[in-house]
């Protein structure tokens, strides 16, 4: 009998090599050899390989899965840590009699890798970000949503609150129904921007954009996010290019600029930008919510901390509610997604997590609950600028970004 392999070790190793083949760092043949060496069957390895390479065509002929309207006892939510308050889950249970059991993932890539390895079974709702939604659709790793007007199986659909979502979030570039046969695969959960946290009391200078993070006068007064897309995105925007460029020369320039910037950077950190601002770091590359968390601490106020939305261009991220393949209850998932889009639910939820609501009717309520959340929100005019962009799937060109980032970190 073949020697048994520790399930936890095998799962970890499998996720790692799935990610390697997905990013093109090892061949499919090497994946097969390593999978068999781990004790997996030929059929199991073949299934994972198929998932790695599976793509859907534009104008897909995908059909809406059936909807058993039996209420489940519970649903399983797969979320970022600290991204939903217990009150929201308990109130949903009180209304529908369905418990919400929550598990967490570390980042979008970890979510994708686990789905590709078949590890998404049993989850009902997941929360991937913008560009990852597109990747999951193209890999058949997310189910279409039953929404009114979009190939719904009923006249009203199962997510009627989608009508209250802001127009700019209804047909995003990463999940445009025109590209995918009329189907939506996501609805927005929360959104925010990337910018620069500026301690005005520590550095009494006018900070206006990304170029300031390359000013040698601010050497060791700068913290950057430890994030491939965000750091390369900042450099691309500084140079007037798209966050989603597929022009190698533009990416190369951004890479060399980040290498030139390294001596000015104190650290690369995506975990504790809030702490950096509280402790007095002059310039902190960060997300909107990090500034809100810093303000919530009481250690800083809007009098000595500002969030700069760079004049060269603003990166916008959108986290989304999606249903993974083969959920325990599509009906329960739709009920929960619809519930989260209710303005009365969105308001306390966003006031708790510190990001912006995609439901306009909820915004005044969020501001009333906590003015800090929208203290540095972009204006409608800023959002309408061509230089304001949402991160999108790079397709095969993602490997070029990964290579550029490895080069920057290794320089």
| Contact present, 223 and 281 (Cβ < 8 Å) | yes
Q: Give the model's pLDDT for residue 75.
A: 98
Is residue 62 in a domain?
no
Domain count, the chain: 3
Residues 306, 312, 314: CA angle, nearest 5 degrees: 60
CA distance 102 to 86: 10
Q: Based on the fold, state whether residues 405 and 352 are members of the same structural domain.
A: no
Characterise 27 by phi-psi region: left (phi > 0), alpha (psi -120 to 50), beta (else). beta
The values of phi and psi at residue 204, to 5°, are: -80, 65
Instruction: Give yes or no for a contact between 319 and 114, defined as CB atoms under 8 angstroms apart.
Output: no
198 and 269 part of one domain: yes
Quick one: 138 and 278 in the same domain? no
Considering the domain architecture, whether residues 41 and 109 belong to the same structural domain is answered as: no
Measure the CA–CA gap between 318 and 403, rounded to whole angstroms: 25
Q: What is the pLDDT of residue 44?
A: 47
pLDDT in tens, the chain (411 residues): 333 334 444 455 555 555 555 544 444 444 444 555 555 544 444 445 444 544 544 445 567 888 899 999 999 999 998 899 999 999 999 999 999 999 998 888 889 989 998 888 889 999 999 999 999 999 999 999 998 766 666 666 899 999 999 998 999 999 999 888 889 999 999 999 999 999 999 999 999 999 999 999 999 999 999 999 999 999 999 999 999 999 999 999 999 999 999 999 999 999 889 999 999 999 999 999 999 999 999 999 999 999 999 999 999 999 999 999 999 999 999 999 999 999 999 999 999 999 999 999 999 999 999 999 999 999 989 999 999 999 999 999 999 999 999 999 999
In this structure, the answer to whether residues 159 and 267 fall within a common structural domain is no
Domain match, 163 and 116 both: yes
Please check whether residue 156 lies inside any domain of the structure. Answer: yes
The helix, strand and coil proportions of the chain, stated in percent and rounded to the nearest 5, come to: 45, 15, 40
Do 222 and 336 share a domain, yes or no? no
- Looking at residue 57, its pLDDT comes to 41
**DSSP designation for 379:** P
- pLDDT for res 46: 47
Angle at 169 between CA 164 and CA 174, to 5 degrees: 145
Q: Give the whole-angstrom CA distance, residue 50 versus residue 273.
A: 39
Q: Which helix (H) or strand (E) holds 267?
A: strand 265-268
Same domain, 203 and 147: no
**To the nearest 10°, the Cα dihedral for 292, 296, 302, 303?**
-150
What is the residue range of 399's domain?
Answer: 191-314+391-410
Is residue 195 within 8 Å of 309, Cβ to Cβ? yes
User: Are 253 and 240 members of one domain?
Assistant: yes
Looking up residue 402, the CATH number of its domain turns out to be 3.40.190.10
402 plus 343 within the same structural domain: no
Q: What are phi and psi of 256, to 5 degrees?
A: -65, -35
pLDDT at 220: 98
Residue 351 lies in a domain: yes
Domain membership of residue 122 (yes or no) is: yes
Q: Say yes or no: 295 and 396 in one domain.
A: yes
Q: Are residues 213 and 236 in the same domain?
A: yes
Contacting residues for 76 by C-beta, under 8 A, at least 6 apart: 101, 102, 103, 122, 123, 124, 125, 328
Among residues 326, 304, 215, 307, which one has the least CA distance to residue 263? 215
């Amino acid at each position: 009998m073949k020697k048994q392999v520790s399930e936890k070790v095998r799962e970890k190793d499998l996720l790692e090599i799935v990610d390697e083949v997905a990013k093109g760092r090892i061949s499919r043949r090497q994946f097969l050899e390593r999978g068999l060496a781990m004790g997996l069957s030929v059929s199991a390895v073949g299934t994972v390989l198929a998932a790695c390479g599976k793509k859907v065509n534009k104008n897909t002929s995908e059909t809406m899965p059936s909807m058993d309207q039996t209420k489940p006892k519970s649903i399983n939510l797969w979320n970022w840590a600290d991204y939903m308050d217990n009150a929201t889950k308990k109130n949903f249970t009180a209304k529908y009699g369905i418990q919400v059991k929550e598990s967490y993932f570390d980042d979008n890539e970890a979510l994708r890798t686990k789905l590709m390895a078949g590890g998404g079974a049993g989850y009902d709702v997941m929360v991937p970000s913008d560009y990852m939604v597109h990747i999951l659709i193209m890999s058949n790793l997310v189910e279409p949503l039953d929404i009114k007007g979009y190939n719904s199986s009923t006249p009203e659909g199962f997510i009627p609150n989608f009508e209250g979502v802001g127009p700019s979030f209804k047909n995003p570039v990463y999940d445009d129904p025109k590209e995918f046969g009329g189907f939506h695969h996501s609805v927005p959960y929360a959104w925010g921007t990337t910018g620069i946290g500026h301690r005005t009391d520590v550095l009494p200078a006018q900070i206006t954009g990304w170029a300031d993070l390359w000013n040698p006068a601010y050497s060791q007064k700068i913290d950057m996010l430890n994030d491939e897309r965000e750091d390369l995105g900042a450099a691309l925007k500084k140079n007037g290019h798209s966050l989603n460029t597929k022009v190698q020369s533009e990416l190369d320039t951004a890479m060399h600029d980040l290498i030139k910037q390294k001596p000015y950077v104190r650290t690369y950190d995506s975990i504790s930008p809030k702490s950096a601002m509280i402790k007095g770091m002059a310039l902190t590359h960060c997300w909107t919510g990090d500034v809100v968390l810093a303000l919530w601490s009481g250690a800083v106020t809007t009098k000595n901390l500002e969030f700069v939305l760079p004049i060269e261009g603003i990166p916008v991220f959108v986290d989304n509610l999606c249903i993974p393949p083969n959920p325990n209850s599509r009906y329960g998932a739709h009920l929960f997604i619809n519930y989260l889009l209710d303005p009365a639910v969105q308001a306390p939820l966003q006031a708790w997590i510190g990001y912006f609501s995609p439901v306009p009717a909820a915004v005044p309520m969020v501001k009333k609950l906590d003015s800090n959340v929208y203290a540095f929100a972009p204006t409608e005019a800023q959002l309408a600028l061509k230089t304001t962009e949402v991160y999108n799937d790079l397709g095969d060109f993602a490997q070029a970004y990964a290579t550029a980032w490895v080069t920057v970190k290794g320089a």
